[in-house]
């Protein structure tokens, strides 16, 4: 199967499912660079930074820019597990980023999670066993888990105390570290001074000597413990405050997991994101500022040039907002967040539709001040959680991202102001109207003729659309009526009728003694190199021979679909089948239970559903 899902399974197979972040003050100092600063120490003897060959073999992140993940900020582990099963898996999210799982200071602010006491998995998120259960349940739902790893520093709040897991601690004295494991105390006064940025305390937090062999082994032990549990990748918090060679050291000791690094780059600063891209992907804060300015204050007509001046698409983790900059921390600039309502919806629509970077969807909670901690447990069923990832447009655009993965930007259109439209080859098309009046425009979509569900306004399920539909004619044109500050989006995985094209279309039927039958297999979670097939009692379905089964499309993963022509008035028995894509007799898994049986109609269409 050559699809986004194959790439996703590569990620799982390889284990590489791939400023001040989380501290009490923002990374905003942009002092004048020193003309001469103390050079950083070399990497420890015997340690070789991860090179480009290693990156291609381990992180491999260029293969995955194009799918999407979500940050369930401050969610409890039990709630994350349930969300993976009920929403993230069915909607096609590749992964979920969770808050730091380490033991932290006992305090109710969100930033308490970013002051580590120990690397025990006992936190506000839950216990170690609850964390393990979450990882297992998310994995079973087809959703990888990324951990926010805080390893640049340790806690300082009130000078000491008892952590969330019961550990006693004081400044520079922790269960895993003592005074000799830190850099000498100093303050960051000038972000143009590399030595200060990478050796002094971020917001007064004790700065670990990440160049020491012991510290690297300790950090690697923490990461390896998480990997052994099943964690697929890591966000490395405050990466620019660590020499990149030090990070290469502890990542290498941990087996080079998939990583994306928080590096806030600002003009005039000594440390820039490009220094870290050989290690993995890097957070592109400039993207957030750019898109925020365009959607809140400027015009969007030139957003086809948004990648100019930024790190390469394959190196970039992008976001409309994140937990820092929605609170005024991070790199500053104009930020659009859930407080902006429709504008935020449009900004996320663009991010998920445009072929640049690896997009992260933010899922927030309401707050009245920047220190405010999370609501109680329960996730989206509890008051106070915003749950942007469940907004119809944002959630369905994740499916758009998956279906159009790898397709080029095409058929760009704009009105020179705040209305834009563009395609992704012949796989999808999106229209964004950031103006106060409705628009009505006929546009070239590049897509095959057919009737498509407008997934920006409704859900597509089992061949039916709960919202409006859009018709593409034989020349690829379609008329779009889009309300003020709204969007429209269509893709081949949400086609109600027509020729479709690729894996998203149907064969039609009728007139030759045949009818169109749509098969759907739900909960079809697969591993790398394995796909889902239709198999059944008639020759068109392989006559129960796995070698002749019919490949389905993962356009709504983990639901797989296939529409095909079958003889009219034909009795059919069938099942869903998983098997190896190369060897039909390998890794075979049959749908449990009895066969699904039906008789095709004499004319028209039919739909039938199975499930693993």
- Catalytic residue annotation: 237, 262
Which 8-state DSSP code applies to residue 153? B
Q: Is residue 137 a contact partner of residue 84, using CB atoms and an 8 Å limit? A: yes
Q: Residue 134: enclosing H or E segment and its boundaries?
A: helix 128-140
CA distances from 160 to 58, 172, 257, 442 (A): 39, 9, 32, 65
Q: How far apart are CA 485 and CA 261, in angstroms?
A: 34
SS3 218: helix
- Unique residue bearing structure tokens 């009692």: 537
Task: Write out 591-610 in H/E/C secondary structure.
Answer: CCCCCEEEECCCCCEEEEEE
Provide the phi-psi class of 557: left if phi over 0, else alpha when psi is between -120 and 50, else beta.
beta
Tokens of 342: 């429709």
- Unique residue bearing structure tokens 């030759």: 512
Report CA torsion sign: 199, 204, 209, 211. negative
Q: How far apart are CA 8 and CA 65, in angstroms?
A: 11
Cα 569 from chain centre = 45
Task: Give yes or no for a cis peptide into 167 (omega within 30° of 0).
Answer: no
Q: Is residue 591 a contact partner of residue 577, using CB atoms and an 8 Å limit? A: yes
Q: What is the largest CA-CA distance in the chain?
A: 84
Q: Is residue 261 a contact partner of residue 226, using CB atoms and an 8 Å limit? A: no
**Gyration radius of the chain over CA positions:** 25
Count of Cβ atoms closer than 10 Å to residue 474 Cβ:
10
Q: Residue 223: enclosing H or E segment and its boundaries?
A: helix 213-229
The residues near 604 (Cβ < 8 Å, ≥ 6 apart) are: 509, 510, 515, 516
Provide the phi-psi class of 167: left if phi over 0, else alpha when psi is between -120 and 50, else beta.
beta
> What is the secondary structure of 8-72 as a DSSP string?
HHHHHHHT-----SSSSS-S---PPPPSS-PPPPPPPTT-----HHHHHHTT-GGGTBTB-EEEE
SS3 33: coil
Residue 438's Cβ-side half-sphere holds a number of Cα atoms within 13 Å equal to: 5
> What is the secondary structure of 240-266 as a DSSP string?
GGS-HHHHHHHHHHTT--EEEE-----
Q: Residue 498: enclosing H or E segment and its boundaries?
A: strand 495-498
Backbone angles phi, psi at 180, to 5 degrees: -70, -5
């Amino acid at each position: 199967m050559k699809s986004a899902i194959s790439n996703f399974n590569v990620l799982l197979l390889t284990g590489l499912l791939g400023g001040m972040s989380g501290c009490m003050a923002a990374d905003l100092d942009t002092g004048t660079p020193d003309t001469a600063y103390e050079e950083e120490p070399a990497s420890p003897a015997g340690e070789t930074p991860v090179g480009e060959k290693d990156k291609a073999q381990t992180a491999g992140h260029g293969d995955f820019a194009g799918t999407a993940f979500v940050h369930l900020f401050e969610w409890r582990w039990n709630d994350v597990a349930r969300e993976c099963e009920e929403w993230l898996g069915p909607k096609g999210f590749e992964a979920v980023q969770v808050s730091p799982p380490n033991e932290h200071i006992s305090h109710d602010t969100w930033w308490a999670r970013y002051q580590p006491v120990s690397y025990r998995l006992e936190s506000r998120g839950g216990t170690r066993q609850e964390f393990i259960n979450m990882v297992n349940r998310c994995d079973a739902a087809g959703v990888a888990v990324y951990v926010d790893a805080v390893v640049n520093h340790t806690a300082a709040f009130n000078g000491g105390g008892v952590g969330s897991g019961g550990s006693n601690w004081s400044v520079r004295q922790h269960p895993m570290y003592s005074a000799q494991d830190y850099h000498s105390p100093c303050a960051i006064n000038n972000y143009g001074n590399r030595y200060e940025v990478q050796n002094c305390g971020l917001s007064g937090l004790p700065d670990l000597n990440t160049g020491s062999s012991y510290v690297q082994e300790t950090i690697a032990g923490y990461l390896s413990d998480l990997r052994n549990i099943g964690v697929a990748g890591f966000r490395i918090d405050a990466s620019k405050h660590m020499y990149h060679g030090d990070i290469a050291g502890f990542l290498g000791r941990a087996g080079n997991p998939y990583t994306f690094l928080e590096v806030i780059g600002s003009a005039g600063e000594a440390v820039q994101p490009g220094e870290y891209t050989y290690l993995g992907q890097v957070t592109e804060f400039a993207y957030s500022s750019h898109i925020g300015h365009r959607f809140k204050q400027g015009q969007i007509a030139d957003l086809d040039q948004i990648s100019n001046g930024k790190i390469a698409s394959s190196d970039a983790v992008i976001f409309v907002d994140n937990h820092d900059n929605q609170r005024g921390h991070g790199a500053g600039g104009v930020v659009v967040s859930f407080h902006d309502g429709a504008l935020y919806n449009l900004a996320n629509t663009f991010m998920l539709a445009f072929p640049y970077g690896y997009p992260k969807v933010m899922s927030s909670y309401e707050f009245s001040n920047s220190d405010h901690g999370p609501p109680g447990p329960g996730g989206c069923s509890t008051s106070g959680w915003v749950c942007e990832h469940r907004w119809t447009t944002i959630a369905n655009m994740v499916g758009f991202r998956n279906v159009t993965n790898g397709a080029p930007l095409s058929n760009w259109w704009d009105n020179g102001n705040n209305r834009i439209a563009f395609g992704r080859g012949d796989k999808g098309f999106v229209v964004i109207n950031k103006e106060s009046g409705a628009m009505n425009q006929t546009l070239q979509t590049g897509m095959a003729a057919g009737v498509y569900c407008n997934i920006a306004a409704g859900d597509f399920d089992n061949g039916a659309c709960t919202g409006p539909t859009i018709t593409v004619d034989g020349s690829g044109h379609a008329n779009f009526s889009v309300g003020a500050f709204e969007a429209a989006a269509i893709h081949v995985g949400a086609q109600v009728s027509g020729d479709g094209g690729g894996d998203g279309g149907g064969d039609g039927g009728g007139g030759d003694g045949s009818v169109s039958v749509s098969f759907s297999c739900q909960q079809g979670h697969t591993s790398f190199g394995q796909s889902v097939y239709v198999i059944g009692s008639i020759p068109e379905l392989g006559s129960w021979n796995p070698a002749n089964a019919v490949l389905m499309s993962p356009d709504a993963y983990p639901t797989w679909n296939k529409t095909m022509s079958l003889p009219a008035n034909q009795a059919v028995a069938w099942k869903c089948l998983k098997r190896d894509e190369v060897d039909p007799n390998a890794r075979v898994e049959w749908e449990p239970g009895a066969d699904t049986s039906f008789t095709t109609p004499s004319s028209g269409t039919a739909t039938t559903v199975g499930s693993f």
